[in-house]
């Protein structure tokens, strides 16, 4: 076993820079990727014509995508609970923009909610939404309606809040489509997120080393499996997800803010610690990531790494979003509205597909 784990690993882990990670989508309100909403919303897709805006505060958007910048190239929506969603079609336009307006200060005048020049990411196009049905509220439903953009939209939370706008006309029918939504009354709980990346396969193991976070009995437990046998090890705890290659057998998947030392047993396992889930209480949504490093003389670097495990606090719910809408059930004209009705602390669960 190479003896330099404490020097090499600590220096490399502590100084590593986060690199942008690729992901399929980011879901707002933050945390809704892993938790179902507590209400439903058929706007803006209901009606023969409509105008609709939704503001997502930067504090919410910043918590998405492992706290990395995003390049948005589409939007997705999913059914609420066990509702049946009929097929729909529209002639629709989607616009995105950065705004200084917040969910709390959102104007009832559409143009006032774009405080910088917005981008038409999808010009008027004939769109269709497939029929589907939600399977319940225990886990989030799969995304059903997907609307790819023809123009990408880079988004960095430090630039401001995000406003998206949907306008449509020529819908052939008035049909209710109860899609997943969240209001300020959402009450969720900490949720283990999906593992990310692939760890190194330690000497004598047939499976890659894996980090885990489990919640049971009001406690959360951090553990490593399939590390090297009876080896010195470190647990790295970070708040950002990343993919940083340093020439080892796996990338660093988080920039650590805390390092915890320990050792694996003969089976390559290590339970690094257990704490009450009350430590995951936060004023706004946050994710905590864990990755392990362990000494392994059989690997080219002398050090192995696990994949990344994560846990999130309760979702933000409707705390940082608001909607503005105009719905016309009698014909066209709703798509040209200049003002509408506002609902604060309420919004559709919105999936933003990313490059």
Total domain count, the chain: 2
Q: Which residues contact 217 (CB under 8 A, 6 or more apart)?
A: none
> What's the pLDDT at 284?
93
Task: Indicate whether 38 and 159 sit together in one domain.
Answer: yes
Task: Indicate whether 82 and 105 sit together in one domain.
Answer: yes
Task: Indicate whether 118 and 200 sit together in one domain.
Answer: no
CA angle centred on 324, ends 320 and 325, rounded to 5°: 145
Within a domain: 266: yes
Within a domain: 84: yes
Q: Which residues contact 168 (CB under 8 A, 6 or more apart)?
A: 44, 45, 49, 50, 90, 91, 92, 93, 127, 335
Within a domain: 170: yes
Task: Indicate whether 213 and 299 sit together in one domain.
Answer: yes
How many residues belong to the chain? Answer: 355
Task: Indicate whether 281 and 342 sit together in one domain.
Answer: no
Q: What is the pLDDT of residues 292-341, one digit of tens each?
A: 999 999 999 999 999 999 999 999 999 999 999 999 999 999 999 999 99
Partnered with residue 287 across adjacent β-strands are: 312
What value does the mean pLDDT take over residues 209-237?
Answer: 97
What value does the mean pLDDT take over residues 109-134?
Answer: 97
Task: Indicate whether 76 and 179 sit together in one domain.
Answer: yes
Task: Indicate whether 176 and 283 sit together in one domain.
Answer: no
Within a domain: 274: yes
> What's the pLDDT at 41?
96
Please give the residue range of the domain that contains residue 82. Answer: 31-185+317-354
Within a domain: 122: yes
Residue owning tokens 């047939």: 206
Q: What is the pLDDT of residues 46-76, one digit of tens each?
A: 999 999 999 999 999 999 999 989 999 999 9
Instruction: Look at residue 14 and tell me whether its pLDDT is greater than 70.
Output: no
Within a domain: 128: yes
Within a domain: 155: yes
Q: Specify whether the CB–CB gap between 30 and 285 falls below 8 A.
A: yes
**Per-residue confidence band for 136, with pLDDT thresholds at 50, 70 and 90:** confident
CA–CA dist 257, 188 (Å, integer): 26
Within a domain: 26: no
Record the tokens describing residue 83, joined without a space. 């509702």
| Mean pLDDT, the chain, integer | 92
Task: Indicate whether 146 and 116 sit together in one domain.
Answer: yes
CA–CA dist 59, 316 (Å, integer): 10
Alpha helices in 88-146 (DSSP H): none
CA–CA dist 280, 284 (Å, integer): 11
Task: Indicate whether 333 and 227 sit together in one domain.
Answer: no
Task: Indicate whether 144 and 42 sit together in one domain.
Answer: yes
Quick one: what percent of the chain has pLDDT higher than 90? Answer: 87
Record the tokens describing residue 264, joined without a space. 């694996």
Residue owning tokens 């960095």: 156
- Phi, psi angles (nearest 5°) of residue 76: -135, 155
Task: Indicate whether 167 and 37 sit together in one domain.
Answer: yes
**CATH code: domain of residue 303:** 2.60.40
Please state whether beta strands 39-41 and 145-155 pair in parallel, antiparallel, or not at all (unpaired). unpaired
Task: Indicate whether 241 and 100 sit together in one domain.
Answer: no
């Amino acid at each position: 076993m190479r003896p330099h784990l404490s020097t090499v690993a600590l220096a490399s882990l502590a100084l590593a820079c986060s690199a942008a990670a690729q992901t399929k989508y980011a879901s707002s309100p933050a945390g809704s990727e892993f938790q179902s909403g507590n209400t439903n919303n058929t706007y803006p897709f209901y009606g023969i014509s409509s105008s609709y805006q939704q503001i997502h505060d930067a504090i919410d958007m910043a918590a998405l995508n492992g706290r990395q910048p995003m390049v948005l190239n589409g939007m997705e929506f999913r059914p609420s609970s066990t509702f049946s969603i009929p097929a729909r079609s529209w002639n629709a336009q989607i616009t995105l923009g950065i705004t200084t307006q917040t969910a709390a200060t959102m104007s009832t005048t559409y143009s006032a909610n774009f405080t910088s020049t917005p981008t038409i990411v999808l010009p008027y196009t004939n769109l269709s939404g497939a029929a589907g049905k939600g399977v319940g509220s225990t886990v989030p439903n799969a995304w059903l309606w997907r609307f790819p953009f023809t123009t990408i939209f880079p988004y960095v939370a430090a630039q401001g809040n995000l406003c998206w706008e949907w306008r449509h006309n020529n819908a052939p029918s008035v049909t209710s489509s109860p899609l997943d939504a969240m209001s300020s009354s959402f009450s969720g709980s900490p949720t283990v997120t999906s593992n990310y990346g692939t760890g190194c396969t330690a000497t004598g193991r047939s499976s890659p080393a894996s980090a885990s976070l489990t919640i049971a009995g009001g406690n959360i437990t951090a553990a490593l499996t399939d590390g090297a046998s009876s080896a010195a090890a470190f647990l790295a705890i970070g708040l950002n997800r990343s993919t940083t290659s340093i020439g080892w057998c796996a990338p660093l998947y988080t920039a650590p803010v805390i390092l915890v030392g320990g050792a694996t047993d003969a089976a390559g396992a290590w339970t690094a610690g257990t704490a009450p889930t009350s430590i995951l209480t936060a004023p706004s949504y946050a994710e905590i990531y864990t990755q392990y490093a362990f000494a392994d003389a059989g690997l080219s670097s002398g050090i192995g790494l696990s994949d990344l495990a994560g846990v999130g606090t309760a979702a933000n719910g409707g705390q940082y979003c608001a909607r503005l809408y105009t719905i016309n059930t009698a014909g066209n004209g709703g798509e040209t509205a200049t003002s509408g009705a506002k609902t604060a602390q309420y919004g559709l669960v919105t999936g933003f597909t990313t490059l």
